[in-house]
Amino acid sequence: MVFMFRHRFAAAFIYWYSIALFAPAFGQVPQVNKKDGEKMERSVLLNEWSGPYGGVPPWNLVREDEFLSAFTTAIQEADAEIDLIANAQEEATFENTLLAMEGAGKGLNRLSAMFFVYASNLNLGPIGDIEKVVVPKLTEHEDRIYQNAKLFQRITSVYESDAMTNGELDVAERRLVEDRYKTFLRKGAKLNSQEKAQLSQINTRLARLFTDFSQNVLEDENGYVTWVSDESDLKGLPESVVKAMANAAKERDQKGGGWAVTNTRSSMDPFLTYADSRSLRETVWRNYYNRGDNGDEFDNNKIITEILRLRAVRAKLLGYQTHAHWRMEPTMAKDPQAAMDLMLKVWPKAVARVGEEVADMQAIADAEKSNIKIEPWDYRYYAEKVRKEKYDLDFNEVKPYLQLDKLREGMMWASTQLYGLQYSKISGVPVFHPDVTVWEVKDQNGHHVGLWYLDPYARGGKRSGAWMTDYRAQENYRGDIKPIVSNNSNFIGGEEGEPVLISWDDAVTLFHEFGHALHGLVSKVRYPSQSGTNVARDYVEFPSQLNEHWLDTPEVLNRFAVHYKTGEPIPQALLDKIKKASTFNQGFGTVEYLASALIDMKLHLAGDVEIDPDQFERETLAEMGMPTELPMRHRTPQFMHIFSSDSYSAGYYSYLWSDALTADAAERFSEAGSFYDEEVAKSLHDNVMSIGDTIDPAEGFRRFRGRDVDTTALLRKRGFPID
């Protein structure tokens, strides 16, 4: 998520049956044929993963032209597996129905894991067109599962059986049955045949629109570059940023100038923070915040209008008041009002803080006789001046101590102290790009835990932001299957042979994404659909946001925040300044995020009215009292969280919901006197990190904290007044 885009999987389709790799218990799958009597050549992409560590993705064997035919085969095989479960003659039981479903679709899972890594990280050449074909097919397959009346009847039989109440099934098993039953209900299992057909049409159309939306944003990220040819326009920029811009220009091999600002957050943010050229800051800002909103063939406004209309129709068809009500039913918050209540508790305090921040910035601009009013492209630039004036803190002084590789070592070290994990960089394992490195993870006794892949750098065809992906989920109900996870970022590479220096915000994001990876790695559950990050949307960001707190612990900074030239640790005086300024600019950070979260919720509470996205955004922000000096974090035409899939739709609030949990959980470590307190760390592992979705997340938090969440901790964390 991950900036706040910390999204664990880039695909527009996420499988209900999770990632399961064992053959189903119900027998062999029929061979899929091209024609009667003629066998289709089976793609290597459908084979079980072989090699060390329980098998690894065979990236070295991927041929892009095989994806479409492989998906045809994999979907047909998965359909056949589901039909075998649904049409079984034996009385439905937990084992022959729910567990059989956990094991179904293994070939499709493996293929999808690999393809959507390509779609997120290597979306070049034919991949975009393949995605437009594949995603609707996957959606149709999903609908065939949820609309299978015989399968639903078998699930219902187990759900209504004595096994759910007589102790035959344990807590995790009962939760699995209940979740599966309720998910089928939410996906239209009880609709009549005509309604099911209408639902399938809506879902298939949405799948295509989601893909088109994503491809359009990617086109604008790749298509808009701010070229700098005059060296004087680099004034104010740190040396590391200038070098990164030079490298970006070389990679594009164009004659637009000696330096390039690419249209990604990791490139835009430092330029807006330090560049003295106001006109170039405005150009970079407009390029970035107008993605998907340029009135050309890649404009997303009409797509958004149709997505919102179809979501509203679907919600009514399924018996829900709005799409927001449908999406939020399985979350911790349960309904939109609970999410709105939390957001509106914070919003006025954050807006008031922005007013204070803008006044401080305007005072500096006036003192400089710049004769300007603070605009969105000025906010980061003047905020940095205020930081220097108020706290004597210049993050240019901090950046030489923030080496990407050293901070990676630091977050690994912290996880060793907390969870006993050990890391060894390995070679000989296929990767999908030369930028990718792989680590084997072991526990404190030397036993294999899983693999962690890191893909840190920006490149053409890679979507912006940062995210975590499951290649394979942990499970142990049919063998001890270890997880394979990855972190993906968009850092700008430095000069050959020199360390990559990152900003403080990027360092926070690095630790955040690793928190998602840890959530997957330390999972200790039986069933893949309950494993790791397969938890409620407004709970999944809790472990990752909590992991951010280990970045600024003295133990990490003193060991791993060392100067890239001298090797000296970051001075204590500088650490003191960072701590003192910890709540600085929280107005900006909170308002830009909350504006996006509130727009998301309001769009999906609007019902089936026709919505012009630009107009809705403009008028709603004005009604909310949005400060004009800053934008939403994700403007509507580029809001990948909510329009590239259903995943975060009516769910972007979840970062704030999770941060309320995070702030309260962090205070437990503070109360214990250390973020490395062994007792608290063990409780975090046992009640949050390792248990996945085997129990209700509220109960897991309650066991860790000893009580329900105290939301005032969130206000304390952000430095806002408590009423």
The catalytic site residues sit at 513
For 383, residues 6+ apart whose C-beta sits below 8 A from its C-beta are: 273, 357, 361, 585, 588
Tokens of 362: 């305007």
Report how far residue 188's alpha carbon sits from residue 147's, in angstroms, rounded to the nearest whole number. Answer: 7
CB 539 within 8 A of CB 689: no
CB 541 within 8 A of CB 653: no
In 87-126, which residue ranges form alpha helices assigned H by DSSP?
100-103, 106-121
Report how far residue 704's alpha carbon sits from residue 684's, in angstroms, rounded to the nearest whole number. Answer: 6
Report how far residue 31's alpha carbon sits from residue 29's, in angstroms, rounded to the nearest whole number. Answer: 6
Report how far residue 521's alpha carbon sits from residue 408's, in angstroms, rounded to the nearest whole number. Answer: 16
Q: Are strands 33-35 and 38-39 parallel, antiparallel or unpaired?
A: antiparallel
SS3 content of the chain, % helix, strand, coil (to 5): 55, 10, 35
CA distances 556 to 132, 311, 412, 560, Å, are 44, 46, 10, 6
H/E/C letters for each residue in 494-551? CCCCCCCECCHHHHHHHHHHHHHHHHHHCCCCCCHHHCCCCCCHHHHHHHHHHHHHHC
Report how far residue 461's alpha carbon sits from residue 122's, in angstroms, rounded to the nearest whole number. Answer: 5
Say if residue 489 is exposed, middle or buried (CB neighbours under 10 Å; 0-12, 13-18, 19+).
buried
CA dihedral 315, 317, 319, 324 (to 10 degrees): 0
CB 336 within 8 A of CB 328: yes
Report how far residue 158's alpha carbon sits from residue 170's, in angstroms, rounded to the nearest whole number. Answer: 14
SS3 309: helix
Neighbours of 693 (CB within 10 A): 24
